[in-house]
């Protein structure tokens, strides 16, 4: 039986090391992507010609924010062995906001989809405001 306990500890360490390495690689990827995005945003802002082109910039920015929030939530969950509610709600809020930006640049805003998106943003805003701080990190 002592051999099984040693094997279990070795496997646990290997899994923790692998998760840490994967998290580090993902963080590096997101940082590189954020740097490239910042460069593109600055170049685009210098040459911006219309409101639609500025709105289209929000899509990749919100995508980076979603990735960062997701990584933060995963790191928090791994560290505390508890999945917090508030960061997940914030992630969904950013996703719906990103959907609204994409919809604003591609479709009409007087559609049912736009109304559903607006209602979703309002409901999530209320949920985030009412969520107790103990569920936050």
Mean pLDDT of 113-117: 81
Mean pLDDT of 80-106: 82
pLDDT of res. 135? 47
Q: What is the CA radius of gyration of the chain?
A: 20
Is the pLDDT at 81 greater than 60? The verdict is yes
pLDDT of res. 134? 62
What are the tens digits of pLDDT across the range 12-49? 788 778 777 877 887 788 788 778 878 877 777 777 66
- Stated pTM of the model: 0.59
pLDDT of res. 48? 65
Distances (CA, A) of 42 to 46, 102, 104: 6, 20, 22
Show the DSSP H helices in the chain as ranges: 2-47, 51-80, 85-106, 112-130
pLDDT of res. 99? 83
pLDDT bin (cut points 50, 70, 90) of residue 98 is confident
């Amino acid at each position: 039986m002592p051999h099984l306990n040693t094997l279990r500890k070795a496997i646990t360490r290997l899994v923790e090391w692998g998760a840490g390495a994967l998290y580090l690689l993902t963080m590096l990827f997101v940082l590189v992507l954020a740097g490239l995005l910042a460069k593109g945003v600055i170049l685009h802002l210098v040459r911006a010609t219309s409101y639609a082109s500025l709105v289209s910039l929000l899509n990749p920015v919100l995508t980076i924010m979603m990735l960062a929030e997701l990584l933060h939530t995963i790191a928090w969950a791994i560290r505390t062995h508890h999945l917090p509610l508030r960061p997940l709600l914030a992630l969904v809020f950013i996703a719906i906001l990103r959907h609204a930006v994409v919809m604003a640049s591609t479709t009409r805003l007087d559609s049912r989809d736009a109304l559903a998106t607006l209602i979703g943003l309002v409901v999530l805003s209320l949920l985030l405001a009412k969520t107790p701080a103990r569920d936050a990190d």
